Structure 1
């Protein structure tokens, strides 16, 4: 049975894949330059102290208990104070522990401790969600049940980072992943920008259901008429409303979704081009390859090697 909440269904499938996690023990003056990793989402959790976060021309001051996301993976700087030198964080000496690193850096003054990371979000829906996010999402302590839950999680991360008991690294990384997803959910539920485009379309009773149908069964021989029929709408009314809300024609969306799913299967499942073509309902590998290259900008074979 199709879910009554297409937005919730899309968020349900988001999965975090950690690329880099680091606990930093910093003393003023200090600065860190975080590299530009376009496919990743950076997060910074301040467990003690304070810092300045510079992303482009924007500066945020983060206090203990704050969390900041840099969703587009762009390079940015963290520093104890304006003007502090920011060496490349990857060029500093770390103590590596499997997927987790410990960094100690600075001039010996006031202390700040952080839990930072760069993660990837795995699901074709990610391209739609991340594309509409701002350059920085800053979560500060505030009222409400969600804020209380997040602050409790942040306090637990801070306690684990301070003591690092056996298994503490696993606790920190998994709680960090949950916080990333929860922060995205909170932004989507409250920010006016999330009411437009693809995210806004998911909230529409009819168009949201059409999107869910495509997501659940991308291999089906979808046409505008078939989707309109599922919604008991006229073909013309459905086509116009879909284009208005999603900001692209329905069949363009169907093809693009299929190719995003295909790219995931090729890269992560190890499926062959022929297998993916068949799973998506294409009658020939050549037809699938042409559609893939036209949409993604590279051949399926090249995507499989990425």
Structure 2
């Protein structure tokens, strides 16, 4: 297939990165983050969902979803929380920090990235990371669209841990550069760190997919499957085409019943339902990134009438396409 399906999804969900905090910790410290949905409007207004990541610059720490076993992290490691779960980063397992959503609102107007020092249970903003800290961490955020349809995020675990030694020099270079840019606050640092964050996420997704067991199910596993991956690529390459199971099966070399069974087993929904969902995501991107009329977009994603498209879009998103576009245009 000529189309990179993963790249197509990443472009469609409008991945956006930012780095806000440069953190140091000492004396049995713990930093606890609330659920992403509670702070997303404060940190990245207009973004539907935010995931947080932490890159260890020096020292060691522990990180994990609240209520689950943490992992130990060393210099060069990165941990990500794709679903925006509340989580803790601390000097030892079992420690908890305080959570105050209002704090995020109080600091968002300050010059970024913020330098934060944790000393035991206390937190303070500092001009620079404390030199005597036991660990130094760069904390960043990645925003993306969850609606109308984002098959990637559902395929990811609640926590992704990238060990520096297992992933070559890229992760180590990322943590070093992120630390340098966060520390120096040079012109253009925000843009550079944002792009680096996005690259790091894409690399994390690819490596997670590469490590999936052979019998795995899910969207990422489907990309690797000889037949399901080709079916996905065909639908992504030409979503407006009048696909049916017979034609898809003929193109990839499976009977319609075998394709349906294999696709549902791996992706969780039938091929035609997936196509309908993907058409809505493709339409949403056009609504946001072009000035095309709703009628033109309906044709571009395979609908013969504007009315049929509008009904399908409202069923999935909860609002007519014109209303959804208008509200997004006025989002800060």
Give TM-score scaled by structure 1 length: 0.82
1:282 offset after TM fit, Å?
1.5
After TM superposition, the structure 1 = structure 2 runs for residues 165-204 of structure 1, keeping only pairs within 5 Å, are: 165-192=186-213, 195-204=216-225
Query: Which residue pairs with 2:50 in the alignment?
Result: 40
Q: Which residue, 104, 109, 134 being the options, matches 1:90?
A: 104
Task: State whether residues 313 and 320 of structure 2, in contact with CA within 8 Å, keep that contact through their aligned partners in structure 1.
Answer: yes
1:271 offset after TM fit, Å?
4.4
Task: State whether residues 43 and 68 of structure 1, in contact with CA within 8 Å, keep that contact through their aligned partners in structure 2.
Answer: yes
Instruction: Give the match's secondary structure for 2:150.
Output: helix
Which structure 1 residue ranges, 5 or more long, are not aligned? none
Instruction: Give the match's secondary structure for 2:285.
Output: helix
Which has the higher mean CA deviation after the structures are superposed, 205-214 or 22-31? Answer: 22-31
Relative distance call for 1:193 and 1:174 in structure 2 (3 A) is: farther
Give TM-score scaled by structure 2 length: 0.76
Query: Which residue pairs with 1:105 in the alignment?
Result: 117
Which has the higher mean CA deviation after the structures are superposed, 201-210 or 238-247? Answer: 238-247
Query: Which residue pairs with 1:18 in the alignment?
Result: 16
Task: State whether residues 132 and 194 of structure 1, in contact with CA within 8 Å, keep that contact through their aligned partners in structure 2.
Answer: no
Deviations 1:205-251 (A, max 9, x none): 23321211110111111122222232344333333333333332221
Query: Which residue pairs with 2:169 in the alignment?
Result: 148
Query: Which residue pairs with 1:50 in the alignment?
Result: 60
Question: Matched residues in 2 for 1:286 and 1:181: separation?
Answer: 37
Instruction: Give the match's secondary structure for 1:133.
Output: coil
- State the Cα RMSD in Å: 3.1
1:118 offset after TM fit, Å?
1.6
1:91 offset after TM fit, Å?
5.0
Relative distance call for 1:240 and 1:52 in structure 2 (3 A) is: closer
Question: Matched residues in 2 for 1:27 and 1:251: separation?
Answer: 51
Query: Which residue pairs with 1:70 in the alignment?
Result: 81
Task: State whether residues 46 and 64 of structure 1, in contact with CA within 8 Å, keep that contact through their aligned partners in structure 2.
Answer: yes
Instruction: Give the match's secondary structure for 2:295.
Output: helix
Relative distance call for 1:213 and 1:125 in structure 2 (3 A) is: farther
Question: Matched residues in 2 for 1:263 and 1:194: separation?
Answer: 33
Relative distance call for 1:27 and 1:95 in structure 2 (3 A) is: farther
Instruction: Tell which has more relative contact order, 1 or 2 (C-alpha 8 A, sep 6+).
Output: 2
Relative distance call for 1:62 and 1:171 in structure 2 (3 A) is: same
**Does residue 136 of the first structure (1) align with residue 147 of the second (2)?**
no
1:149 offset after TM fit, Å?
2.7
Q: How many residues align?
A: 297
Query: Which residue pairs with 1:214 in the alignment?
Result: 235
